Amino acid sequence: MNIQIAARRAKTVSITLLILSVALTTGFLASARSNTPGTAGSEGLTSANAIVSRFKQAGNRTVPVQAATGQRREFTIEVHQIKAEIAPGVQVEQWAFGFPGQPASVPGPALVVQQGDHVVIHFKNTHDQPHTLHLHGIDRLSQEMDGLTEVLPGQESTYEFVATETGTFGYHCHFQTYLHADMGMYGAIIVEPKNPQEKIWKDEHAIILDEWDSRQDPHAAIHKSEPNYFLINGKSFPLIPDITIPDGQTDLIRVANFGEEVHSLHMHGNSFLMLDKDGFSLPEPVQQDTLLIGPGERIDILVKGRDGDFPFHDHIVKDVTNNGIYPGGIHVMIKGGPALNAQGALMGADAGGHSHGAGTPAQHGDDSHGGQASTPAPTYGHDSPAHNDEFDHLPEGSPVRVVNIASFAFDQKELHVKAGTKVAWVNRDAVGHSVTSGLPGGDPKTRAFDSSNEAKGTPTMLAQGEAWTYTFTKKGTYEYYCLPHTNMVAKVIVE
């Protein structure tokens, strides 16, 4: 599918989801405020009036920093240009926030304070572009602290405010926002309750959502973003660390969307309680298993751990891919207690959670192309695909070694051969597969071998009943995988 068409369709889906969400919310409020006779309607109207009354009476003017009731919390933030891996083998340029003397990262470091604190942020522009620091969601700061005046390279600016409300907030650059946000210039501000007894959770975790175009050029005259990777805390699955919530323990997950698309996070095998949105407590917590979150929104949810490991992932399906290949993207595993079977008994020790066929990612080798041999790549000399009957009854001592592709796996995970050996991969599955060297997401032009010939254009899969051969002429370790099914990994060791 054409990328631009796909992007337009994705945006249409996002807009449709937003409209549906607004419609459902509007319908609920209309029902709550209706004058239909009945106790429920009257109570709903009274409750709505009380909320409006509190909103009108509440202060919203600048809170002077001298009115702070907590501690003075100071942070210094710099900007650095870095290279980072967002998916296996995919390195991108980023403009990242960081503390002095510490590695910069995307997202930037979390600024954790308590309600009532006087927060001071010294921003040093150590980059070669103008930047600002907008304090996203902090709504009772002064106009001059809103972060719309650019800070030129080599300059500094200080921002300060009183943390009046608890919740999840953010900071990001607001100079040429479209480009600078796409380059990773954002981070979280977390305001904890001053009274520890108000924390009704044991531990807390942060999920910051974003999208990334691995082909973008920040120096282009016109910035056009067509995201092909979808991130949690700067990484795409399978690089996203698991979230551990022990069985029976209740934790808080802070979800923030600092990207430009709507996301719909669904939790398998469990539900959660939505507590706060954009730093404001909901009038009544809502229990659900799917979270629709738009750009700039922050939502805090309570999750109670249970037995087993389950995915928490995006249900906008393109957002669980890496450059169009599933699985990937916005997908994190919630790890709980030991898994139970359907009868309630403990399962075996090897009963891992289902990660939608993601498997274990291939490990990096000594070079940047994901574990290919450091010796020169062998001559690209594969045969044309042949019918698999050719390899069904090879004579004993045949110089050809056979790897069967069946049930979405290579039947020999580690094949040892001598230099000069021809290896044949035979597709026994009813769906197409490839034999592609390196790690998912790598540059097709640098692969030692690839049955799909992606470097020459549209990749071609091995159909059922086809085989592909390759002769290894150099010693080394060659990792490989299936292009559309990246959980399928194996290696050939040439001795």
For position 354, what pLDDT does the model report?
A: 54
Angle at 207 between CA 113 and CA 101, to 5 degrees: 55
Sheet holding 476-481, edge to edge: 414-417, 489-494, 476-481, 436-437
Closest CA to 127 of 84, 173, 92, 187: 173
Question: What integer pLDDT is reported at residue 37 of this predicted model?
Answer: 35
Q: How far apart are CA 431 and CA 47, in angstroms?
A: 57
Domain spans of the chain? 3-58, 61-199, 219-268+291-357, 386-494
* Length of the chain as a residue count: 495
Residue with tokens 């799917």: 290
CATH superfamily of 386-494: Cupredoxins -  blue copper proteins (2.60.40.420)
For tokens 């809103």, what's the residue? 146
**Pairwise CA distance, residues 444 & 450, whole Å:** 8
Q: What number of other Cβ atoms are within 10 A of residue 172's Cβ? A: 23
**Closest-CA residue to 125 (of 88, 162, 90, 159):** 159
Chain mean position to CA 374: 31
Residues 6+ apart with CB under 8 A from 483: 325, 434, 436, 440, 450, 452, 454, 459, 461
This prediction has a pTM of 0.72
Bridge pairing between strands 229-232 and 204-212: antiparallel
Residue 392: predicted pLDDT: 66
pLDDT in tens, the chain (495 residues): 443 434 444 444 444 444 444 444 434 333 333 333 334 456 667 788 888 998 899 889 999 999 999 999 999 999 999 999 999 888 999 999 999 999 999 999 999 999 999 999 999 999 999 999 999 999 999 999 998 899 999 999 999 999 999 999 999 999 999 999 999 999 999 999 999 889 999 999 999 999 999 999 999 989 999 999 999 999 999 899 999 999 999 999 999 999 999 999 999 999 999 999 999 999 899 999 999 999 999 999 999 999 999 999 999 999 999 998 888 999 999 999 999 999 999 987 555 555 554 443 333 333 333 333 333 332 223 344 445 566 766 656 678 999 999 988 999 999 999 999 999 999 999 888 999 999 887 788 899 999 999 888 878 999 998 999 999 999 999 999 998 888 899 999 999
Contact assessment for residue 176 and residue 262, using Cβ atoms and an 8 Å cutoff: no
Answer for the pair 470, 386: CB distance below 8 angstroms, yes or no: no
Domain boundaries 219-268+291-357, CATH class = mainly beta
Residues 152 and 171 sit within 8 Å (Cβ to Cβ):
no
| The two structure tokens encoding residue 406 | 């069946």
Distance, CA of 79 to CA of 129 (rounded, Å): 10
CA atoms within 13 A on the CB side of 273: 15
Q: What is the C-alpha radius of gyration for the chain, rounded to an integer number of angstroms?
A: 27
- Residue 357: per-residue pLDDT: 46
> What does the H/E/C string look like for the chain?
CCHHHHHHHHHHHHHHHHHHHHHHHHHHHHHHHCCCCCHHHHHHHHHHHHHHHHHHHCCCCCCCHHHCCCCEEEEEEEEEEEEEEEECCEEEEEEEEECCCCCCECCEEEEEEECCCEEEEEEECCCCCCECCEEECCCCCCHHHCCCCCECCCCEEEEEEECCCCEEEEEECCCCHHHHHHCCCEEEEEEECCCHHHCCCCCEEEEEEEEECCCCCCCCCCCCCCCCEEEECCECECCCCCEECCCCCEEEEEEEECCCCCEEEEECCCCEEEEEECCEEEEEEEEECEEEECCCCEEEEEEECCECEEEEEECCHHHHCECCECCCECEEEEECECCECCCCCECCCCCCCCCCCCCCCCCCCCCCCCCCCCCCCCCCCCCCCEEHHHHCCCCCCCCEEEEEECCCCECCCEEEECCCEEEEEEECCCCCECCEECCCCCCHHHCCCECCCHHHCCCCCECCCEEEEEEECCCEEEEEECCCCCCCEEEEEEC
Domains 219-268+291-357 and 386-494 share a fold: yes
Q: How far is CA 377 from CA 301, 445, 447, in A?
A: 50, 12, 8
Report the pLDDT value the prediction gives residue 364, as an integer from 0 to 100: 31
Pairing of strands 250-257, 204-212: parallel
156-162 and 167-172 beta bridge pairing:
unpaired
Question: Does domain 61-199 match CATH 2.40.50.140?
Answer: no
Residue 343: the pLDDT is 92
**Which strand ranges, in their side-by-side order, compose the sheet holding 90-98?**
90-98, 72-87, 118-124, 156-162
Give the residue among 91, 96, 60, 56 at the shortest CA–CA distance from 78: 96
